[in-house]
Amino acid sequence: MRIKQWIKENRARGARLLQIMVRENSTRGNESSTQAIIIEKCRQLGLTLDIWEIGGNVLTSHPAYCCDRKSFEGNPNLVAVLKGTGGGKSMILNGHIDVVPVGDESSWNHDPFSGIIECGKLYGRGATDMKGGNAALLMAMESIIANGIKLKGDVIFQSVIEEESGGAGTLAAVLRGYHADGAIIPEPTNLRIFPKQQGSMWFRISVKGRAAHGGTRYKGISAIEKALLVIQRLQQLEKDRNARMTDPLFDKIPIPIPINIGKLSSGEWPSSVPDTAVIEGRMGVSPEETIQSAQLEMEKCLSELGKHDEWLLENPLKLEWFGGRWLPGSLENDHPLMAELTKSFIEVKGDSPIIEASPWGTDGGILSTIGNTPVVVFGPGITETAHDANEHIILEDMFIASEIIALTLLKWCEAAE
């Protein structure tokens, strides 16, 4: 009851904190100003701070590292610990501070970093993905501290960089030694609970053709036409892979593990037959499979194209895995962390939560697979507006998430006598 009352009385402060965070542009390479706001907030809360610039051979040589960023200088990771009295389970609260670019600013109704509040919604890039989740974590922790409640288990708050490009910040935190008995990541789930997260990775397929004059195109081999064959085969692979998905947590997701073609480039001159084409895209990975097994399935699929096309048999496709990669994650529906979060949800909302699988990758795969930490993804924020123009969050949902997470901490870490 004290938690609920504190959050109710401090809603304006919570909204103001989020507003200040959203007004700072924390796109890739510009995370420091927003991180400074969070660092100062954690100092005010009396947390033990660990601030460091990620990088170094231990990180960059790790098999899960996939970042193409050249420098992290001036844009640190933050871990802030609320130390427990001992004897309780520990909890990681993990949120990323980086946001994606704003895109076409003319599509926004307001400045993308305005943080303007209208009709109970706060607008701006990162409001929903996922500064609103970070603000909910900080409010949850402050509600416990302000009420003088001591926890037995440690609460390990993480504000990391580089999630949007593959999770280097969270990987760095794991390799620095941060593990726990459980973790919550408040990505924008619309207050649904995601015990499973799809993984994903970027791919590049180079297709070879034979150049010729457009007037005698029959003498050439169009790389674009061959690329279309590749795309058709990838579409079939997507259907085959998704036909195997029987987990009921994916029932409401039309394509649980998509293969998306995001970029196709070819040709230099309208009157020439193009001799090269490059396809780039994203491959979804099931929570029950590994990155490596998914890669092998695509490799096998593409190699079989040569059985039906003599040109592709003699000129094999070149498949590369590059850029972003997000490990899949999975937690049992009956795991104790799920039970405690569900109880807290019912206590606050009066209804049972919707439990589904995440339609996108998160840092949860790194925490669970590399860090051996059970992970649940649960947070405020409108999934549909993440990465879109006019991104926004319903502030009421942020406060609800904060209360649910605070109660979960009391149950999981246990209040000391």
Catalytic residues: 98, 163
Q: d(Cα 239, Cα 233) in Å, to the nearest integer?
A: 10
**Non-local CB neighbours of 183 within 8 Å, separated by 6+ positions:** 91, 92, 93, 94, 364, 367, 368, 373, 374, 375, 376
- State the sign of the Cα–Cα–Cα–Cα dihedral 325, 331, 245, 293: positive
What are φ and ψ of residue 154, in 5° steps? -75, 145
Tokens of 4: 């609920």
List, in order, residues 6 or more apart from 372 with CB less than 8 Å away. Answer: 179
In three-state secondary structure terms, 9 is helix
Tell me how far apart the alpha carbons of residues 379 and 192 are, in angstroms, rounded to a whole number.
7
Closest CA to 408 of 46, 140, 7: 140
Query: How far is residue 19's CA from residue 220's CA, in Å, rounded to a whole number?
Result: 58
With contact defined as beta carbons under 8 Å apart, do 284 and 392 qualify? no
- Name the DSSP class of 353: P
- Residue positions counted in the chain: 417
Task: State the number of CA atoms in the 13 A half-sphere of 360 facing the CB.
Answer: 14
CA-closest candidate to residue 71, choices 92, 84, 56, 49: 56
Nearest to 222 by CA among 277, 292, 161, 281: 277
**Peptide bond preceding 130 in cis form (omega within 30 of 0):** yes
DSSP letters, 247-259, are: -GGGTT-SSSS-E
